[in-house]
């Protein structure tokens, strides 16, 4: 306890990460019926957490990585520790999580105003922030897994927040179960490491992988299993369908889940034990393929939907695919940098969409456009900034990170990944601007009257566009837009900062100098390519991919006399394929129904009823029946008994004689 | 106050006496004074709880071994001792029993029908349970075991619900069939050891031949396994749960099923270690089948109590798998899981009991939207469901982690299948939660008030128990492991 107060860093860490839990407890136990108090408690605590995170980042900016740990419990030879690991990566992520969570909670003050579940909402938001922050600074993989699961739990509650809606509770359940599928792989990977290696400390694991302290077979199997966790959490290829459904949650929740937290957790975990993953070329190859497939598949899905949030959801999946591609091809800094910039502009996109949805009570971009979405100037401009950043247009943040990723991909021996990356960039720009043009330049112009009528009749708190509600929503959005403008220019600072986190494992665990150099050399190999980013050809290609996408969108939706249908509408089959998410959902549903519900479950239930119970009941019936039979013998009729006796004696005599 | 100061005081017998004195006092209270009967019950249960907590605190896990020993010769010619003691395996079970009894008594506060008889029988049952856990003499273990079984029949047949006569009969027959295996096995071991002692530790020193161990262990495993709802002897358990009144379900699933697993560990594995090793593959197989099978059948159930009953089958399968590994982590995890599952399932039945009392149904399709009308009562169930899924920072997570770590090491296929069972358990728990508590406000239940503060107390006690041991697993594992480490050296 004493150390906690004597060490300001530890104090800030513990306070910052656990304050949200405290606020959740207070809200659930005491202020459930006082929404105003609950929301302020939650916002204040997350603000303090964000301040703690930022001050930690500043204070430890040039300090070596810090590790605190204590024994949680031990069983046999397993020593489970609880601890914090503060290195550049975790400090950066902690800051991102703190700031985004804080902005989202402030935004929610307006967005969720008047909701009957206001207190509950803030309790779960706090739970979420607590879980996420603790996951980020976890000192061991087991601790990371624990809070990883807590993040999943919190997101289950948040996605299913409107639990009276069947689809919402269904989406929450789906998210949890699909994550579980990935987590079982993750868990098995950890168990395998626990058995074979005996230590799940993050620096220890990275160090062992880099210095060949782990046999290659074990490394490949366990890293593949652990990668299953990334697939589940970051919605990668086979398990990606839960994420678009997760849009059932309130929009700020989507913003939080899709930018800096939940889904970013998978990518964060990947980068957290990046040296460990990169020591297994097979795993990296699998991850690269999965990332690419995910990126392309979800981009195509985003091209056909009219739902505002769905577009950004698919786009999140595809951007996560980008990050996985970057990491899997060795681009540690590029991946983490894209994670950072994406957190900013994706939160921005969701939060601005939230303003539109809050205003027009629909998710359909065509209707929003018609009702005069562009009249909301601040959100419109901010959304355009977000879309530009997403499409990778200079000088927005996405430009820098996407360039970094494409440079890393270009350094791969096979150019197919680079080509896929470029193609993905075209698609990204296309679907983002398809949405922007739908709102900005709606088909058939704006229907003035309709909007007026609507605005007057609906919500009670729509007191003009510039009241309290509007500003609590607009200010966070404007801050995020500003961030998206400037964040890109911090690339070099961030790169130097992050490169230290790769070298840390060596310094921390083994003071031996060669270990340090090996760690730095092997694990950061890819990152150096990013540093060399300068080939003008690559930049030109990258930028023109984005511009090409925007141009196609302009041609189809923007220019005067455009058809506004999209070229895909000429291919109904492909449209249907994209619209039905490549039939993945239908496949899972069918599989689950036939295999589990109609197959095993009903088979086993029948077995219980008929075979086991039937057998036992049969024995009972038999016992009862034979009892009746024998009771018949005990009838008390003397002559009958005498007859039996004589017959029996006769039989015995016969037996002995013969 | 340390254990040494209390060395002379028969604390274990005193704990046993709290239930028996409670029983006797209740017998002499006129049946119409129901309030007084309940107060006496609660007082007696609380005394037991306080003593068990003290016991837990006073047990010195650095020293380990058997502590608080009471050993008096009772029948010399047969070698029967009044021999009680506490070690790291039965200490968590004692604590579990006292917590479940305390919360069960409190949960049934609204009982109106034959209050006196009900509480008297409950105390008789729990006396048997305490007796089994604390006794270190085979004879007494068997006696207490049967004492704990008989009250189940009237408790279910009189105060029960759905198909109560059938459920009570089925349960009693199954458990007696179990006894029919256990008694010969005990007598067999006693006779093989020369017929002059029932003392577990003296029997342990006698090396039984491998063949004897195989035979005896199989019989003990089958006999106790029935009580632990080992597949395929599990069907009595969901039926019994469904038929039983709330408190009985709590005690039954929370404590009584643990008697089975405890018996396998305490008698079977302790006296016949080589026999246990011989049958370990069978145990692992049945345990794993139980995990998967229980979860899958649970998916198809429409009765809340059936769902929990099958989840118990699944969770007890995990205990079986843990024991089968014969390793420190496996047995640590199994004992921890026995404790965690006991508390969790008591919370389950306690919350279902409240819902059933108010809505008079536990059929899932008839419920729905309960969160709107009774948010707090629903939260208790949802909390238990999360514990059942194995969400981290709840006690059962650590138990699962330890068991699965050991299982993957010793029986890789079984271990991996058991991990897959985690997905199924998430699926079926969340399915129940969704259908029962989520959805639009149900007009049928709109008039029902939420759970009162008073009735929330036992549920909160159980919840805090789950959280406490989830956050501080060391408190439990240090105790368990002090006994398990020397225990496994014999395999």
Reading the block at residue B9, the tokens are: 């005081």
Give long-range contacts, CB 8 A cutoff, 24+ apart: B19-22: B19/B44, B19/B48, B19/B101, B19/B123, B19/B124, B19/B126, B19/B127, B19/B130, B20/B123, B20/B127, B22/B119, B22/B123
ipTM for this prediction? 0.90
Query: pLDDT of B369-385, one tens digit each?
Result: 888 888 888 899 999 99
Listing DSSP states for A549-585 in one string gives HHHHHIIIIISTT---S-GGGG-HHHHHHHHTGGGHH
Higher pLDDT pick, A461 / A578: A578
C-alpha closest to that of A173 among A259, A260, A245: A245
Least confident among A242-256, A573-587, B120-134? A573-587
Share of chain B above pLDDT 70, in %: 98
Q: Please tell me which of the candidates B173, B419, B474 has its beta carbon nearest to residue A72.
A: B474
C-alpha closest to that of A466 among A540, A377, A598: A377
Query: pLDDT of A184-208, one tens digit each?
Result: 999 999 999 888 888 888 888 888 8
Q: Is-contact B267 B137, C-beta < 8 A?
A: no
The predicted model gives A198-223 an average pLDDT of: 85
Query: pLDDT of A379-410, one tens digit each?
Result: 888 888 888 888 888 788 888 888 888 888 88
Task: Write down the residue that tokens 């606020």 correspond to.
Answer: A23
Is residue B387 a part of any domain in this protein? yes
Least confident among A441-450, B128-137, B311-320? A441-450
**Model confidence band, residue B163 (pLDDT cutoffs 50, 70, 90):** confident
**Model confidence band, residue A448 (pLDDT cutoffs 50, 70, 90):** low
Task: Write down the residue that tokens 């790291």 correspond to.
Answer: B88
| Cα–Cα distance measured from residue B308 to residue A500, given in angstroms and rounded to the nearest whole number | 51
Say whether residue A623 is in contact with chain B using an 8 A CB cutoff.
no
Q: Is-contact B101 B126, C-beta < 8 A?
A: yes
For position A537, what pLDDT does the model report? 79
The predicted model gives B391-395 an average pLDDT of: 89
Is residue B413 a part of any domain in this protein? yes
Is the Cβ pair A188, B419 closer than 8 Å?
yes
Least confident among A409-413, A592-596, B133-137? A592-596
**Model confidence band, residue B207 (pLDDT cutoffs 50, 70, 90):** confident
Is residue B6 a part of any domain in this protein? no
Share of chain A above pLDDT 90, in %: 11
For position A528, what pLDDT does the model report? 45
Q: Please tell me which of the candidates A164, A183, A601 has its beta carbon nearest to residue B297.
A: A601
Say whether residue B443 is in contact with chain A using an 8 A CB cutoff.
no
| Cα–Cα distance measured from residue A202 to residue A193, given in angstroms and rounded to the nearest whole number | 12
Is residue B201 a part of any domain in this protein? yes
For position A446, what pLDDT does the model report? 66
Higher pLDDT pick, B50 / A561: B50
Q: What are phi and psi of A413, to 5 degrees?
A: -60, -40
| Cα–Cα distance measured from residue A598 to residue A595, given in angstroms and rounded to the nearest whole number | 6
Does position A517 have pLDDT exceeding 50, yes or no? no
Does position A168 have pLDDT exceeding 50, yes or no? yes
Q: Quote the domain boundaries for residue B98.
A: 11-488
Residues of chain B contacting A612 with CB distance shorter than 8 Å: 232, 235
Higher pLDDT pick, A521 / A180: A180
Is residue B49 a part of any domain in this protein? yes
Residues of chain B contacting A183 with CB distance shorter than 8 Å: 422
Is the Cβ pair A150, B393 closer than 8 Å?
yes
Residue A536 CB-density burial (10 A; 0-12 exposed, 13-18 middle, 19+ buried): exposed
* Alpha carbon of B120: minimum distance to chain A alpha carbons (Å): 31
Query: pLDDT of B208-242, one tens digit each?
Result: 888 999 999 999 999 999 888 888 888 888 888 88
Say whether residue B7 is in contact with chain A using an 8 A CB cutoff.
no
| Cα–Cα distance measured from residue A615 to residue A181, given in angstroms and rounded to the nearest whole number | 36
Residues of chain A contacting B328 with CB distance shorter than 8 Å: 75-76
Is residue B21 a part of any domain in this protein? yes
For position A504, what pLDDT does the model report? 42
Is residue B360 a part of any domain in this protein? yes
CA dist A210 → A2, A106, A142, B204, B296 (Å): 36, 43, 20, 50, 43
**Model confidence band, residue B344 (pLDDT cutoffs 50, 70, 90):** very high
The predicted model gives B239-259 an average pLDDT of: 88
Residue of A nearest to B434 (CA): A169
Task: Write down the residue that tokens 């019936």 correspond to.
Answer: A621
Per the prediction, chain A carries an average pLDDT of: 81
H/E segment holding residue B72: strand B67-75
Is residue B348 a part of any domain in this protein? yes
For position B129, what pLDDT does the model report? 93
CA dist B263 → A378, B213, B220 (Å): 71, 15, 8
Q: Is-contact A433 A521, C-beta < 8 A?
A: no
| Cα–Cα distance measured from residue A487 to residue A499, given in angstroms and rounded to the nearest whole number | 18
H/E segment holding residue A95: helix A88-111
* Alpha carbon of B474: minimum distance to chain A alpha carbons (Å): 5
Is the Cβ pair B477, A75 closer than 8 Å?
yes
């Amino acid at each position: 306890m004493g150390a906690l107060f004597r060490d300001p860093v530890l104090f800030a860490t513990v306070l910052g990460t656990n304050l949200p839990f405290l606020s959740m407890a207070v809200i659930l136990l005491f202020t459930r019926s006082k929404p105003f108090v609950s929301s302020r408690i939650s916002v204040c605590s997350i603000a303090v957490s964000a301040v703690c995170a930022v001050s930690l980042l500043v204070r430890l900016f040039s300090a070596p990585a810090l590790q605190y740990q204590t024994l949680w419990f031990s069983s046999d030879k397993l020593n489970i520790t609880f601890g914090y690991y503060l290195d550049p990566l975790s400090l950066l992520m902690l800051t991102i999580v703190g700031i985004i969570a804080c902005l989202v909670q402030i935004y929610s003050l307006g967005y969720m105003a008047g909701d009957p579940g206001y207190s509950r909402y803030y309790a779960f938001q706090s739970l979420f922030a607590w879980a996420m922050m603790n996951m980020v600074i976890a000192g061991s993989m087991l601790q990371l897994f624990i809070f990883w699961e807590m993040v999943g739990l919190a997101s289950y509650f948040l996605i299913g927040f409107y639990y009276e809606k069947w689809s919402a509770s269904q989406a929450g359940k789906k998210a949890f179960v699909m994550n579980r599928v990935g987590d079982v792989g993750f868990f098995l990977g950890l168990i395998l490491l626990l058995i074979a290696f005996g230590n799940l400390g993050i620096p220890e694991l990275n160090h062992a992988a880099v210095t060949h302290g782990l046999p290659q077979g074990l490394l490949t199997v366990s890293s593949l299993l652990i990668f299953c966790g990334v697939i589940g959490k970051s919605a990668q290829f086979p398990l990606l369908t839960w994420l678009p459904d997760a849009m059932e949650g309130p929009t700020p929740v989507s913003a939080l889940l899709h930018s800096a937290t939940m889904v970013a957790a998978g990518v964060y975990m990947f980068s957290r034990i990046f040296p460990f993953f990169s020591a297994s070329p097979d795993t990296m190859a699998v991850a690269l393929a999965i990332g690419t497939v995910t990126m392309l598949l979800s981009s195509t899905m985003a091209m056909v939907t009219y739902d505002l949030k769905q577009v950004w959801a698919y786009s999140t999946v595809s951007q996560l695919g980008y990050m996985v591609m970057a990491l899997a091809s060795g681009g540690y800094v590029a991946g983490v940098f894209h994670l950072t910039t994406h957190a900013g502009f994706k939160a921005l996109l969701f939060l601005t969409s939230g303003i539109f949805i809050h205003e027009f009570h629909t998710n359909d971009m065509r209707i929003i456009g018609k009702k005069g979405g562009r009249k909301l100037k601040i959100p419109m401009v901010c959304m355009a900034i977000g879309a530009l950043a997403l499409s990778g247009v200079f000088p927005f943040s996405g430009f820098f990170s996407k360039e970094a990723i494409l440079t890393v991909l270009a350094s791969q021996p096979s150019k197919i990944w680079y080509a896929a990356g470029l193609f993905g960039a075209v698609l990204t720009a296309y679907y983002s601007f398809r949405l922007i043009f739908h709102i900005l330049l709606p088909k058939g112009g704006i229907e003035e009257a309709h909007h007026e009528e609507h605005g007057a009749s609906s919500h009670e708190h729509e007191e003009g566009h510039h009241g309290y509600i509007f500003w609590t929503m607009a200010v966070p959005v404007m801050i995020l837009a500003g961030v998206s403008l400037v964040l890109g220019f911090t690339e070099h600072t961030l790169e130097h900062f992050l490169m230290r986190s790769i070298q840390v494992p060596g310094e921390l665990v083994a003071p031996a100098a060669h270990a340090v150099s090996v760690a730095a050399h092997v694990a950061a190999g890819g990152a150096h390519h990013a540093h060399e980013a300068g080939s003008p050809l690559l930049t030109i290609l990258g930028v023109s991919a984005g511009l090409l996408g925007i141009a196609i969108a302009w041609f189809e939706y923007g220019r005067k006399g455009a058809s506004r249908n999209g070229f895909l509408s000429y291919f109904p089959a492909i449209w249907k394929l994209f619209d039905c998410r490549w039939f993945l959902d239908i496949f899972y549903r069918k599989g689950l129904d036939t295999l589990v519900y109609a197959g095993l479950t009903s088979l086993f239930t029948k077995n219980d009823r008929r075979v086991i119970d039937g057998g036992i009941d049969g024995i009972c019936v038999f016992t009862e029946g034979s009892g009746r039979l024998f009771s018949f013998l005990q009838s008390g009729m003397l002559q009958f008994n005498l007859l039996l006796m004589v017959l029996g004696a006769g039989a015995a005599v016969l037996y002995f004689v013969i | 106050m340390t254990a040494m100061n209390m060395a002379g005081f028969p604390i274990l017998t005193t704990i046993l006496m709290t239930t028996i004195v409670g029983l006797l006092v209740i017998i002499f209270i006129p049946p119409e004074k129901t309030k007084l009967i309940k107060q006496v019950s609660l007082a007696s249960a609380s005394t037991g709880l306080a003593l068990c907590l003290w016991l837990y605190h006073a047990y010195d896990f650095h020293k380990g071994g058997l502590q608080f020993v009471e050993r008096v010769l009772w029948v010399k010619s047969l070698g029967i001792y009044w021999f009680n003691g506490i070690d790291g395996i039965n200490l968590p079970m004692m604590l579990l029993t006292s917590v479940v009894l305390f919360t069960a008594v409190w949960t049934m506060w609204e009982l109106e029908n034959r209050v006196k008889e009900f509480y008297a029988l409950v105390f008789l049952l729990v006396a048997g349970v305490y007796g089994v856990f604390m006794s270190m003499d085979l004879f007494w273990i068997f006696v207490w075991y049967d004492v704990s079984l008989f009250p189940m029949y009237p408790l279910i047949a009189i105060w029960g619900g759905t198909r109560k006569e059938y459920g009570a009969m089925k349960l009693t027959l199954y458990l007696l069939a179990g006894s029919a295996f256990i008694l010969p096995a005990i007598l067999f071991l006693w006779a093989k050891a020369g017929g002059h002692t029932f003392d577990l530790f003296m029997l342990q020193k006698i090396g039984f031949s491998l063949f004897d161990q195989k035979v005896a262990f199989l019989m003990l495993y089958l006999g106790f396994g029935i009580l632990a709802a080992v597949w395929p002897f599990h069907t009595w358990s969901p039926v019994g749960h469904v038929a039983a009144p709330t408190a009985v379900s709590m005690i039954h699933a929370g404590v009584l099923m643990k008697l089975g697993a405890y018996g396998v560990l305490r008698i079977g594995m302790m006296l016949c270690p080589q026999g246990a090793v011989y049958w370990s593959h069978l145990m692992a197989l049945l345990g794993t089948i139980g995990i998967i099978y229980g979860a899958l059948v649970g998916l198809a159930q429409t009765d809340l109590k059936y769902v929990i009953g099958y989840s118990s089958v699944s969770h007890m399968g995990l205990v079986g798998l843990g024991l089968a590994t014969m390793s420190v982590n496996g047995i640590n995890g199994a004992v921890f899981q026995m404790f965690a599952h006991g508390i969790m399932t008591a919370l389950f039945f306690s919350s279902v009991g409240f819902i059933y009392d108010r809505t008079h149904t536990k059929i899932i399709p008839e419920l729905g939207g309960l969160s709107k009308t009774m948010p707090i009562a629903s939260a208790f169930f949802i909390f238990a469901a999360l514990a059942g899924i194995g969400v981290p920072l709840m006690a059962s997570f650590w138990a699962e982690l330890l068991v699965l770590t050991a299982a993957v090491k010793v029986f890789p296929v079984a271990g991996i299948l058991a991990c897959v069972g985690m997905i199924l358990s998430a699926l079926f728990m969340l399915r129940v939660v969704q259908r029962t508590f989520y959805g639009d406000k149900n007009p049928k239940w709109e008039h029902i008030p939420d759970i009162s503060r008073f009735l929330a107390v036992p549920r909160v006690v159980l919840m805090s128990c789950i959280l406490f041991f989830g956050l501080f697993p060391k408190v439990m594992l240090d105790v368990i492991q002090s006994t398990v480490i020397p225990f496994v050296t014999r395999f």
